[in-house]
Amino acid sequence: MYNRMKKAKWIGALLSVLLTVVLLTGCGDEADVSVFIMAPNGMPDKVTTDLQAELQPTLGEKTIKVVGSPIYNAQKLLVEYIAGEHAVMALPKSDYEAMIGQGGGVPLEDIFDEKQYSEGVMVGTILKEKNAEVKEKHLFGIPLKQAGMFKKTGFAPEEMFLIIPTNAPDLALSKQVIKELVHS
């Protein structure tokens, strides 16, 4: 009886250690910056690998991860946005308009000419001082069809936009990444 209890304790301890190891392997090297793409009709895997390979040399020591959803799913898009892990997101036009209308994007006039990207100019919600929400017209998104790096991959759908989410982890790095995506 005593040996059985001793054996059960060892098995329990071993299982605890194994579970800890499994959980910790999920917490590994995370990229410094990520780009999330949700196309209305899905997208090829090759696009994400090509974009990641093009972007990585431009970021120096920072690491990047480009994630694309193989199918469109509005709930997944919302979860990805709320998680706040992405520096830049590529969205279908309808989602772009909805997110910007609710204060989901950062104005981009400080890094892009709004005349050159006029399709991305719209009235959106901006959070001002004292947490006051104000509707203002700004350049919030860059049409994917005008983004050089996407054009190089052969994936630049007409009705998609690049945005920097308001909850992006590092605004300066987000701006660097979106500039590379557009100007390369």
Q: What one-letter code names the amino acid at 7?
A: K
CATH code of 34-183, in short, is: 3.40.190.10
pLDDT at 16 over 60: no
- Residue 7 is encoded by which pair of tokens? 């054996």
For 32, other C-beta atoms within 10 Å of its C-beta total: 15
Residue extents of the structural domains in the chain? 1-30, 34-183
| Mean pLDDT value of segment 18-31 | 52
The pLDDT, as a whole number, for residue 19 is: 46
Q: How confident is the model at residue 8 (pLDDT cuts 50, 70, 90)?
A: low
Element (H, E) at 119: none
CA pair distance 6, 146, nearest whole angstrom = 67
Beta strands (DSSP E) in 19-153 are 33-38, 64-69, 88-92, 121-127, 133-139, 142-143
39 vs 20, more confident: 39
Q: What is the average per-residue pLDDT within 40-47? A: 88
pLDDT digits (tens, 9 = 90+) for 100-111: 999 999 999 999
Q: Taking the model in full, what pTM does it have?
A: 0.81
Q: Residue 70: pLDDT above 60?
A: yes
Question: With contact defined as beta carbons under 8 Å apart, do 134 and 125 qualify?
Answer: yes
Pick the range with the lowest mean pLDDT from 12-21, 51-60, 71-80, 130-139. 12-21
